[in-house]
Amino acid sequence: MEEKLQKLKELMAEVADLGHANALLGWDQQVYMPPGGAEERGYMTGTIGKIMHEKFTSDEMGLLLDDLKKYLPELDPDGETYRIISVTSRDYDKATCVPSSFITEQAQVVSIAQQAWVEARSNSDFSIFRPHLEKVAELSQRYVSFFPPAAHPYDTLFDSYEPGMKTADVKVIFDDLRLQQVELIRAIGQRPQVDDSFLHLAYDEKSMWDFSVEVATAFGYDWKRGRQDPTAHPFCQSIGPDDVRITSRWVPELPFALLFGTMHETGHALYEQGVGHAWSRTALEGGASFGIHESQSRMWENLVGRSHAFWEYFYPRLQDRFKTQLGNVGLDQFYRAINKVEPSFIRVEADEATYNLHIMLRLELEIAMLEGSIAIKDLPEIWNTKMQEYLGVVPPNDAKGVLQDIHWSGGMLGYFSTYALGNLISAQLWEKFKSINPDLDDQIRRGDFSALLSWLRVKIHQYGRKYEPQELVQRVTKSKIDPEPYVRYLKTKYGEIYGL
């Protein structure tokens, strides 16, 4: 068995190398590539993706996995060998359902679509992006057709991001969560509103960027294995555990978006930098799921970065950089302002109480696009109607509405639910860690995040893709994904801020 296992690792290492090369090309496309290079880049990523897919789905790989699976009954289900074989086999079974020609076509379509999205968003003109999104939606429908029928067609897309989870599971969670969050938002709406006008003054971009670097460093981001660059939409890109890059964006009218965006992407990066090197260039490299990934980003951005304890340490440093804007603003006033609850147009700038409603809206639209029950040309109007229904606001233009997110241009239908799941998981993990480390707030007040990061490294990061998301959450918290800790967190936090 050892000889066959070693051969499997050698084959997977080559597949992983190709994946890393494509990740690097994708990062460059969104950060430095000139706009005119989109079509050529699509050919490049399509060719590499095709070679990668054909290598992974080769007869040699299939026969090798068939031989190795015979040993599974003899192996420890929790052991490294068992998990490498079982996870690789699961990925192989999915990959063999998809023809390599589709991989090439999809890469070419999304490369051009992403560049079209950038242009459409900058011009606030959905018509520029519409034909590309129509192709992306059609590709998603074709992708689903390659697989055996599921309980819901969306399950097939969702499984790519959240293995083992079903659309029905998410709908049950969201239905319960929606009622409680709407009730909280209504209660807050009856209280005097928080003044956050000083957050929207003119701030110096470089000073805010430098401060965000200071925060990312304090969190534990390893700059010897990463970097930060500006881009149109913030993201984190792992090119292996020793090259994990983050990006952020500057929005003059929302200067603090850069800071909180950096916190968010740093959370992703800390996860990737913490994955055990034993999993490098294997099927177990990377995060357990996108929901688990989002739990890390949302934890560092919100549970840490928007906490009172965090700003007890960092606010004097921020004031020192921005004396004109914040010199006469007290800590408590600033804390309330960065946690102001108010329905807004932009998801990534949404407060914690309303954020999940943005996600639920997108889930409805994605399912409708997959089912073909709405026409892509009608999306801006449908989006605005849903925003009015969910949040009571109507975007003034496409840039602040249907064009605000990059995900659909990248072919990522099925992704958005993971943001809300990440919120729930983050609160579960937070409750668990505080139960065994009651001094966490005092540690944060000292600017010391080492205990939290070390715990996450041991309990979450090191395992990579060894466990499916529900299994991992169960192992750490003794419960599957549960909305109640998140609801408790919101009610406690905003009850204090708004005097509920």
How far apart, in whole angstroms, are the C-alpha atoms of residue 355 and residue 348? 8
Dihedral of the CA atoms 169, 170, 172, 177 (nearest 10)? 150
> For this structure, is 265 an active site residue?
yes
Bridge partner residues of 238 (DSSP): 244
Q: Cα separation of 12 and 301, whole Å?
A: 34
Token pair of 250, please? Answer: 């500057």
Whole-number Cα distances in Å, 106 to 99, 112, 137, 159: 11, 10, 11, 18
- How far is Cα 109 from Cα 408, in angstroms, rounded to an integer? 11
Angle at 18 between CA 15 and CA 21, to 5 degrees: 155
Active-site entry in 105, 265, 272, 352: 265
Q: Which residues are catalytic?
A: 265
